[in-house]
């Protein structure tokens, strides 16, 4: 399938929209996105040259050819057209892609084994049987150099994972890089300001933008990490200091920051333009909120849900990038903050667990953009907040850890086709306020956090 007139982020979203899509190629010169049903490489990697970006996932199949349908209009369906911008070439920031990620410093945790058998027959009535075994579980991998929680983690275009900031009794400036091929962390350049409860985003040119947070003062400062040089540079300040805010990349390449807290709950929103390194105010939300979630929908609008403002909020709003305005949409069934939100393959949004300032929840609900309504779906097995969630390559949602009076080491999987959560194997060290990042091979890296005894953690585990 070929889609014209969109950017790299929209290309990724288009792939998510089509269940058969396994590979995407983006032409940066012509803003052209091509979706494939199979994989052109034996190994998952991100392949980059001056004009093209191709993402493939780990598989042993060969490319069968592009998807047949051709679409000649933008994926965005907002009433007014979105201006598409192209960032500078990312080729100067990328080193050789990392192909596999089996950590060398690992110990094996308990796993579950699933076995499938296929049989084929010949005309002479002889038969052969082959067995494929897939293991599901957790393994420990290399420890962080510095224990931390409420940090951020970002998977870079070369496959390494960047961890930045956080808190461990002090507000941290330190940052580290994880190499999936060795399972080892190495320190990289320090940020200019220590911070925690900040946000981070990988930009199209391969740099990482760090935004806001808290370090004894509420921060409006932002910084950019250059993976090639391993250094941080100060970027333009936001107009409003904030932490416990959200950060979302729009289809036009700009960055939307919403809400947060700076001594008062914030209703304002602002836009960062990576091409000009400038922030501009955009429309304010109808209800100020902090510790909420923000999700970009398939049509390019942004859904903000829940959060806190003198209590946990049920309200939700939609931001239209074309007009810079917010409209109220259907309310959640349960007011919640410090929850997670995941955009599923069919375009719906799954909101899970959270807290209402008195109790933690195990409930989950689905937002249908076509109707603007929320419906309850299957509940988790355990209540939790300050957990982490990620959409896996198979479309399921992995939810990990958190806190509900005790630190949790449980993990659960949500299946959209059934609306049911199932428990998967526990990881080794219970934790909350950790991060999870998906590696280029689809494995999930679970990083740091706070654990039993309120200790700050440097341990790291892999879900495979």
The candidate with the shortest Cα–Cα distance to 207, out of 296, 90, 56, is: 90
Pairing mode, if any, of strands 349-352 and 364-368?
Answer: antiparallel
Write the CB contacts of 255 (distance below 8 Å, at least 6 apart in sequence): 201, 209, 211, 247, 248, 249, 271, 272, 274
User: What does DSSP assign to residue 92?
Assistant: G
Q: Distance between terminal CA atoms of the chain? A: 30
Task: Check the CA dihedral 186-190-196-202 and report its sign.
Answer: negative
CA 59 to chain centroid, in Å, comes to 22
d(CA 281, CA 41) in angstroms, rounded, equals: 44
Is residue 49 very low, low, confident or very high in pLDDT (cuts 50, 70, 90)?
very low
C-beta separation of 377 from 351 below 8 A: no
Position with higher pLDDT, 393 vs 126? 393
Is residue 55 very low, low, confident or very high in pLDDT (cuts 50, 70, 90)?
very low
The candidate with the shortest Cα–Cα distance to 356, out of 396, 321, 404, is: 404
Average pLDDT over residues 386-400: 98
Average pLDDT over residues 75-102: 32
pLDDT of residue 312: 98
Is residue 81 very low, low, confident or very high in pLDDT (cuts 50, 70, 90)?
very low
The string of pLDDT tens digits covering residues 308-347 is 999 999 999 999 999 999 999 999 999 999 999 999 999 9
d(CA 95, CA 90) in angstroms, rounded, equals: 10
C-beta separation of 182 from 159 below 8 A: no
d(CA 328, CA 361) in angstroms, rounded, equals: 24
C-alpha separations of 235 from 222, 272, 372 in Å: 5, 10, 37
Give percent above pLDDT 70 in the chain. 71
In this structure, of 67-76, 280-289, 354-363, the range with the lowest mean pLDDT score is 67-76
Q: Is pLDDT of 67 > 80?
A: no
Write the CB contacts of 157 (distance below 8 Å, at least 6 apart in sequence): 46, 48, 90, 93, 94, 202, 206, 227
Structure tokens at 289: 């909120």
Task: Check the CA dihedral 139-145-150-153 and report its sign.
Answer: negative
Average pLDDT over residues 243-254: 98
Full-model pTM? 0.76
Average pLDDT over residues 123-139: 50
Average pLDDT over residues 93-120: 33
In this structure, of 39-53, 99-113, 414-428, the range with the lowest mean pLDDT score is 99-113
């Amino acid at each position: 399938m070929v889609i014209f007139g969109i950017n790299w982020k929209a290309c990724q979203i288009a792939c998510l929209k089509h269940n058969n899509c396994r590979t995407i190629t983006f032409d940066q010169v012509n803003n052209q996105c091509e979706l494939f049903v199979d994989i052109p490489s034996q190994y998952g990697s991100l392949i980059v040259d001056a004009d093209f970006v191709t993402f493939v996932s780990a598989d042993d199949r060969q490319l069968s050819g592009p998807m047949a349908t051709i679409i000649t209009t933008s994926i965005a369906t907002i009433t007014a057209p979105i201006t598409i911008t192209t960032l500078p070439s990312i080729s100067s920031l990328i080193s050789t892609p990392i192909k596999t990620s089996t950590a060398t410093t690992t110990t094996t945790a308990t796993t579950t084994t699933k076995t499938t058998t296929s049989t084929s027959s010949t005309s002479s009535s002889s038969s052969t049987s082959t067995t494929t075994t897939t293991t599901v579980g957790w393994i420990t991998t290399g420890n962080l150099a510095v224990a931390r929680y409420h940090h951020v983690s970002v998977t870079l275009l070369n496959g390494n994972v960047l961890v930045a900031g956080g808190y461990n009794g002090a507000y941290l400036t330190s940052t580290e890089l994880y190499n999936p091929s060795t399972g080892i962390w190495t320190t990289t350049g320090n940020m200019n300001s220590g911070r925690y409860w900040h946000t981070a985003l990988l930009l199209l040119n391969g740099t990482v933008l760090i935004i806001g947070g808290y370090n004894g003062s509420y921060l409006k400062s932002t910084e950019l990490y250059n993976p090639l040089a391993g250094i941080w540079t100060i970027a333009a300040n936001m107009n409003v200091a904030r932490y416990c805010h959200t950060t979302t990349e729009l289809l036009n390449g700009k960055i939307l920051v919403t809400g947060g807290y700076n001594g008062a709950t914030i209703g304002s929103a602002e836009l960062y333009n990576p091409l000009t390194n400038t922030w501009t105010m955009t429309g304010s939300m109808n209800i100020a909120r902090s510790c909420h979630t923000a999700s970009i929908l398939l049509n390019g609008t942004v859904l903000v849900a829940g959060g806190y403002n003198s209590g946990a909020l049920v309200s939700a709003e939609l931001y239209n990038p074309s007009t810079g305005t917010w409209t109220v949409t259907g309310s959640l069934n349960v007011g919640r903050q410090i929850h997670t939100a995941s955009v599923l393959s069919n375009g719906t949004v799954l909101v899970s667990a959270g807290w209402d300032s008195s109790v933690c929840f195990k409930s989950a609900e689905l937002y249908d953009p076509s109707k603007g309504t929320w419906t309850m779906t299957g509940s988790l097995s355990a209540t939790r907040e300050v957990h982490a969630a990620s959409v896996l390559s198979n479309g399921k949602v992995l939810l990990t850890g958190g806190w509900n009076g005790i630190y949790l080491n449980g993990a659960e999987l949500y299946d959209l086709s059934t609306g049911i959560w199932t428990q998967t194997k526990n990881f080794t060290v219970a934790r909350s306020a950790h991060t999870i990042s998906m590696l280029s091979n689809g494995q999930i890296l679970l990083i740091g956090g706070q654990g039993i005894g309120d200790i700050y953690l440097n341990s790291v585990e892999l879900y495979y």
